[in-house]
Structure 1
Amino acid sequence: MAENLLNQPLDQPNSRSLERDAERLHDHQGVNPGEIAIGVILGRTSEFFDFFVYAIAAVLIFPSRIFPFASPNLAMAYSFAVFALAFVGRPLGTLVFTYIDHNYGKGVKLTSALFLLGGSTIAIALMPAYETAGTLSVALLCCFRFAQGVALGGAWDGMPSLLTLNAPERRRGWYAMIPQLGAPIGLIVACALFAYFAAILTKDDLLDWGWRYPFFVALAINVVALFARLRLVATPEFQRLFETRELQPSPPFQALKEEWRTILLGSFAPLASFALFHLVTVFPLSWVTLTTDENPVRFLLTEALGAGLCILAVVASGILADRFGRRTILATSAVAIGAFSGFAPQLLSAGPGGETAYLLMGFVLLGLAFGQSSGIVNSRFSQIHRYTGAAIVANSAWFFGAGFAPLVALHLSSHFGLWSIGLYLLSGVAGTLGALYANSELGSHLSTQAG
């Protein structure tokens, strides 16, 4: 079946006609690496901006607007449970949009995925509150959040991993960190927008209508990112990679069957950074919201400052990885996150000064780890399964390492105390170090067999 897929003519009418339309809209000979990097950053920024706009609303807005019938803690837990639905929907999005990719082309796949993402985001912005629609508002939020996840699974274009795989051997760490810049940039914009509206509006106005505007901005950013990414799809360089099978999807279930070891290792390798990801972005905002009466503006601006430090740390990770190796940086940063977990809960509970120290230190560690967490095992995939395998790894890693992190952290801190989130971080560190060790052992075994 896979062989038939690879031997299928690339100019079949149903998969190429719309791609030719895209090529006519972009009359150029090719793009340089800088343009590819900008396109990748724009695409990831739009995805993460959507992600953080929803995450902030899940803490500040939805508990009282959608779950007013529950206690504050339980309402926050309900909100985080809905938050996790997107990570459940991502694997389904990979399956559905891989089919669209194979039959209609990457331009059609990317356009439809981002339209679904934008449509779901706007639908959330227009949602009625529980006071108006009752349980229907809960059902709508669940449906739209799940649709966002399906769209994010379909928006995978393979460019971040391929940017690394096609980089010069001594610059792979630098190229690996480029797509990761989208996360802190998206967080900065999302925090700044919510902080602005929280500062100029009363609490009632923010809860009633002010929170909706960041979701409208998300649609505009998605449109810009869509055109930037479509421009890459229409380039001769992209077509060359497609023709050499680097960008051609294989059947997902066959990839799972033949590459399950690599997929499993790739899913667990970034667990330390993904666990920390939510414990410095989403969870601390919920903790401060539930345990204090302070206005969220200061905390949101502190998070934006921390995200700025994260950008610098992501860039530093690229430089360090090219000098010492990507696995070394991932392992070292995981150990540092483990050390941070020993005193992080005490910082978060030490008032504004401690909260600031927690965020700034956490974001620096996050940047060093997250900067190299993407595609660490993708070179181990066989060429036929590299594109689909990388997509499955990306979705699985977010599902295991991030999707339920805020909910788990809230549950642990509510029932056992804030100290218990340190144990949760340690579990992510163990997952990363174990996967890196197993990946190294697998590589040695394969090298021995080849010899």
Structure 2
Amino acid sequence: MSTTFEDPRKPAGFSPEDIGRIQAHAKLAPGEIAIGVVIGRTSEYFDFFVFGIACVLVFPAVFFPFESPLDAMLLAFAIFSLAFIARPIGTTLFMSFQRRWSRGTKLTIALFLLGSSTAGMAFLPGYTIIGSWAIGLLAFFRILQGIALGGSWDGLPSLLALNTPPERRGWYAMLGQLSAPIGFMIASALFLFLHTQLNHQDFIDWGWRYPFFVAFAINVVALFARLRLVVTEEYTHAMEERALEPIGIFDMLQRQGYNIFLGAFAALASYALFHLVSIFPLSWISLGTTQSINQVLTVQIAGAVVGILGIIASGIIADRIGRRTMLGTAAVLIGVFALFAPLLLGGNKLAQDTFILVGFLLLGLSYGQAAGSVTSNFEIHLRYTGAALTSDFAWLIGAAFAPLVALGLSSRFGLVAVSVYLLSGVACTLIALRVNRALAERE
């Protein structure tokens, strides 16, 4: 049983003989797997960021016109969290689909459900037309998004981790994480274009619907890109050779269930920061008067570029100092950043832009290696299911309620609530890393 994080110098769970045998049979190049990971996950992040941005710019006026701007945004963020609650349910459901049919069938159903539920939101009438049914349908489609995202797990990140050279594990681990800032950048750029080209009434009436239509098209492209790998004989052979197949959820929990939560908490600082630099600043600034929505979106697009650079840097650094050290160091930096968060976000335009740009840099450095806590804590035959569930719970615990909690508490107690939220994530990460090390030393 392995409870250690992957050492970049030694593949976890394999002897030198195992590595030689696997490399001799593997036909999929790490670069090819990485491309599949980036394309597939970018579509998923795009869907979720389109919804998150709309929670600030659109949903308060369209679905909650009867509330104040602040309360309407809080209600939208409550619906935002539903997908993360539903995600583990989707993982469990679609794992059974894969055991009964195939990985390709499961992925096809999941991505069509994800694209359809996202596009379905584009057709929703507002509250003024159908009343509370509009809110109920929005919540229903959001839950379907979460179920679909849980079902879209294809095991490519785990396969990538097991197919990379030992000295380059940090580099290849970060490639799949590039999907997050890329998806956010595309979603923000699309909303920025529509928001600048349309007057406010046209944007609220029909302009906001276009990103949701685009999401369906992107999901179709991503589906074929992923199926190109998933249904090939080489991919199937590689997955079976490494025992990357779904097992029963209850069996998983009985054998190494503690590793799911250990892995989720080990990356919690990164996940706590995720929506606090992407969605929350847009909501906080939009309720104030320091700068316009278009200015914030422009800075956040620049922030996404900074985040990409941070993720790339994390791969280089992790290969030199180790992934666990990288996660711990990034968590400490996030803790320092948290202390200055109220001063920056509550300041003038320059201070707020600094919060966004520095936040994205730290997000890149931490999130770039967050997948290491997902792929390396489990016995090999448990890794496929364990990685999926660990990711689900990391998002649920760390990121699902971040915009709701941060905005709700900050509006009542001030921006110090952001500091407390981030510091709690940092504490959880450092404790989980210490527990992981203690378990490794004991074994």
If the TM-score is normalised by the length of the shorter chain, which range does it land in? over 0.9
Deviations 1:42-93 (A, max 9, x none): 0111010111111000111001110111111111110000000000110110
Structure 1: which amino acid aligns with 2:310?
A
**Counterpart of 1:435?**
432
Return closer, same or farther for 1:128/1:294 CA change in 2, 3 Å cut-off.
Answer: farther
Structure 2: which amino acid aligns with 1:107?
G
**Counterpart of 1:133?**
130
Query: Structure 2 length as normaliser, TM-score?
Result: 0.92
1:236 to partner: Cα distance: 2.7
How many residue pairs align between the two structures?
418
Q: 1:157 aligned to 2:154?
A: yes
Q: Structure 1 segments of 4 or more deviating over 4 A?
A: none
Deviates more, 1:288-297 or 1:314-323: 288-297
Choose from 111, 115, 119 the match for 2:112: 115
Q: Residues of 2 paired with 1:367 and 1:92: CA distance?
A: 28
Choose from 82, 86, 89 the match for 1:92: 89
**Counterpart of 1:197?**
194
For the Cα contact (< 8 Å) 2:264–2:374, is it kept in 1?
A: no
1:418 to partner: Cα distance: 1.0
**Counterpart of 1:49?**
46
Choose from 394, 400, 409 the match for 1:397: 394
1:241 to partner: Cα distance: 2.5
1:394 to partner: Cα distance: 0.7
For the Cα contact (< 8 Å) 1:30–1:235, is it kept in 2?
A: no
1:245 to partner: Cα distance: 4.8
Q: Residues of 2 paired with 1:40 and 1:442: CA distance?
A: 31
Deviations 1:158-194 (A, max 9, x none): 1113212332211110111011000000011011000
1:246 to partner: Cα distance: 2.9
Q: Residues of 1 paired with 2:240 and 2:34: CA distance?
A: 21
Where 1:250 maps in the other structure, the secondary structure is: coil
For the Cα contact (< 8 Å) 2:83–2:143, is it kept in 1?
A: yes
Same amino acid, percent of matched pairs: 55
Choose from 54, 62, 66 the match for 1:65: 62
What are the residue-to-residue correspondences of 1:226-265 with 2, within 5 Å? 226-265=223-262
1:292 to partner: Cα distance: 2.5
Structure 1: which amino acid aligns with 2:99?
H
For the Cα contact (< 8 Å) 1:85–1:149, is it kept in 2?
A: yes
Structure 2: which amino acid aligns with 1:100?
F
Deviations 1:133-161 (A, max 9, x none): 10000000000000000000000111113
What are the residue-to-residue correspondences of 1:356-375 with 2, within 5 Å? 356-375=353-372
Kindly indicate whether structure 1 or structure 2 has the higher relative contact order, using CA contacts under 8 Å at least 6 residues apart. 2
Deviates more, 1:245-254 or 1:124-133: 245-254
1:380 to partner: Cα distance: 2.9
Structure 2: which amino acid aligns with 1:262?
N
Q: Residues of 2 paired with 1:356 and 1:295: CA distance?
A: 12
1:31 to partner: Cα distance: 4.5
**Counterpart of 2:330?**
333
Q: Residues of 2 paired with 1:427 and 1:414: CA distance?
A: 19
For the Cα contact (< 8 Å) 1:180–1:371, is it kept in 2?
A: yes
For the Cα contact (< 8 Å) 1:107–1:230, is it kept in 2?
A: yes
**Counterpart of 1:384?**
381
Q: Residues of 2 paired with 1:379 and 1:295: CA distance?
A: 44
Deviations 1:355-376 (A, max 9, x none): 1111111110000000001132
Q: Residues of 2 paired with 1:261 and 1:168: CA distance?
A: 28
Query: Structure 1 length as normaliser, TM-score?
Result: 0.91
Choose from 99, 102, 116 the match for 1:102: 99
For the Cα contact (< 8 Å) 2:328–2:429, is it kept in 1?
A: yes
Q: Residues of 2 paired with 1:225 and 1:247: CA distance?
A: 22
1:30 to partner: Cα distance: 5.7
**Counterpart of 1:182?**
179
Structure 2: which amino acid aligns with 1:441?
A
Return closer, same or farther for 1:433/1:48 CA change in 2, 3 Å cut-off.
Answer: same
Q: Residues of 2 paired with 1:83 and 1:237: CA distance?
A: 38
Q: Residues of 1 paired with 2:174 and 2:105: CA distance?
A: 28
What are the residue-to-residue correspondences of 1:3-18 with 2, within 5 Å? none
Structure 1: which amino acid aligns with 2:328?
A
1:244 to partner: Cα distance: 2.2
Where 2:372 maps in the other structure, the secondary structure is: coil
**Counterpart of 1:19?**
none
Return closer, same or farther for 1:95/1:377 CA change in 2, 3 Å cut-off.
Answer: closer
Q: Residues of 2 paired with 1:412 and 1:151: CA distance?
A: 31
Q: Residues of 1 paired with 2:376 and 2:403: CA distance?
A: 31
| CA RMSD between the two structures | 1.3
